[in-house]
Amino acid sequence: MPEISRFLGIVIRMYYRDHAPPHFHAEYGDNEITVELESGIVEGRFPRRALSAVFDWYELHREALQENWNLARAEQPLNPIEPLE
């Protein structure tokens, strides 16, 4: 699964042949969540601070995330997305 960003110990990835709806995966230690691109609905558990950081990053990069989802569907290389600073 291609890594598209990494910040504060959080790794953001997207699968090429993943199921709808459009989403990304975030890992932090032993925790993993998926976040739907359109709604922001989260599945899984994350520590509160890490989840807050993921949402801050998600709000900044929603358009780039959708572009990467479209690239993944077309089996094209994904673009890295700037980390949260």
* pLDDT confidence bin for 85, thresholds 50/70/90: confident
Reported pTM: 0.94
Question: Where does the pLDDT of residue 69 fall: very low under 50, low under 70, confident under 90, or very high at 90 and above?
Answer: very high
Confirm whether 48 is domain-assigned. Answer: yes
- 33 is a domain residue: yes
User: Which 3 state secondary structure label does DSSP give 12?
Assistant: strand
Q: Is residue 82 part of a domain?
A: no
Is the residue at 79 inside a domain? no
Q: Would the pLDDT of 36 be above 90? A: yes
Would 18 be classed as within a structural domain?
yes
Residue 62 falls inside a structural domain: yes
User: What's the whole-number mean pLDDT along residues 51-71?
Assistant: 97
Q: Which domain holds residue 15?
A: 3-73
Domains of the chain: total: 1
For residues 28 and 85, the model is more confident at: 28
Kindly give, in sequence order, each residue whose CB lies less than 8 Å from that of residue 60, ignoring residues fewer than 6 positions away.
84
Q: How far apart are CA 31 and CA 69, in angstroms?
A: 22
